[in-house]
Amino acid sequence: MTREKKKVAFITLGCPKNTVDSEIMLNDLVENGFEITDQEEEAQIIVINTCAFINDALEESIQNIIQAGKLKEHGTEKIIVAGCLSKRYGLDVFKELPEVDAIVDTANCLNISKAIKDSYEKDQTAYIGNKIDIDYLNNKRIYDPRLPYEYIKIAEGCSNNCTFCIIPKLRGGYKSRKQENIIDECKAVIDSGKKELIIIAQDTANYG
């Protein structure tokens, strides 16, 4: 008898860079045997890819986590917090938000499936603390079929270290992708039927 696939609902908050990361994580989940649903009430697992750049974004992330946690009373099994909130607060996420079962920071998108599986084996699973490897952006993504455009992330992080900005702490120093990898991704997006490519990074003018 084939074991029923676990259903995962994905909530993406914040900027287009987070959207790209979510699409990479979605593909990792599908390749590892999970089923994606856009209905949170149907999901055994809810992943929230968070933003924690400014206070309003942080509050939105926290409220989404709390709301997702309430679904545990109705069949949801695991709440996974990914993205910038996990990077900014690390293990403190578990202390402040006990409904969270696992955290995956900005350097660990490709460990999302492992984090979910580990969360069924032990409490407070954490994939945090590594530096971002820019080549993670070369992995396949699951594009939103409803949209005629797609984002192309050409770089990651920022090295300006402005006193008012925490991006270097959340995303690390500036790292540019290889041109050939960007071109390959653009071709793949066009082949998928998208009509518009939008180039993004924390600082597109610093590419190179």
Domain tally, the chain: 2
Pair 123, 139 in one domain:
no
Check whether 69 has a pLDDT greater than 80: yes
**Residue where one domain finishes, among candidates 127, 162, 190:** 127
Question: Across the chain, which distance is largest between two alpha carbons, in Å?
Answer: 58
**pTM, to two decimals:** 0.94
Pair 175, 191 in one domain:
yes
Dump pLDDT digits (tens) for 160-194. Answer: 999 999 999 999 999 999 999 999 999 999 999 99
Pair 46, 88 in one domain:
yes
> Does 2 map to a domain?
no
Q: How far apart are CA 185 and CA 193, in angstroms?
A: 13
Secondary structure of residue 1 in the 3-state scheme: coil
In the chain, % of residues over pLDDT 70: 99
Pair 92, 151 in one domain:
no
pLDDT band at 1 (very low <50, low <70, confident <90, very high): very low
Pair 51, 99 in one domain:
yes
pLDDT for residue 130: 84
Q: How far apart are CA 46 and CA 10, in angstroms?
A: 6
Is 113 in contact with 29 (CB distance < 8 Å)? Answer: yes
**Residue where one domain finishes, among candidates 97, 127, 157:** 127
Secondary structure of residue 115 in the 3-state scheme: helix
> Does 153 map to a domain?
yes
Pair 194, 166 in one domain:
yes
Query: Between vectors from CA 201 to CA 129 and to CA 160, what angle results, nearest 5°?
Result: 70
> Does 73 map to a domain?
yes
Q: How far apart are CA 9 and CA 19, in angstroms?
A: 14
Range of the domain at 55: 7-127
Pair 28, 71 in one domain:
yes
> Does 1 map to a domain?
no
Dump pLDDT digits (tens) for 92-149. Answer: 999 999 999 999 999 999 999 999 999 999 999 999 988 999 999 999 999 999 999 9
Check whether 4 has a pLDDT greater than 90: no
Check whether 2 has a pLDDT greater than 70: no
Check whether 13 has a pLDDT greater than 60: yes
Pair 23, 91 in one domain:
yes
pLDDT band at 155 (very low <50, low <70, confident <90, very high): very high
**Residue where one domain finishes, among candidates 110, 127, 144:** 127
The mean per-residue pLDDT over the stretch 39-66 comes to 97
Check whether 88 has a pLDDT greater than 60: yes
Pair 112, 152 in one domain:
no
Pair 59, 108 in one domain:
yes
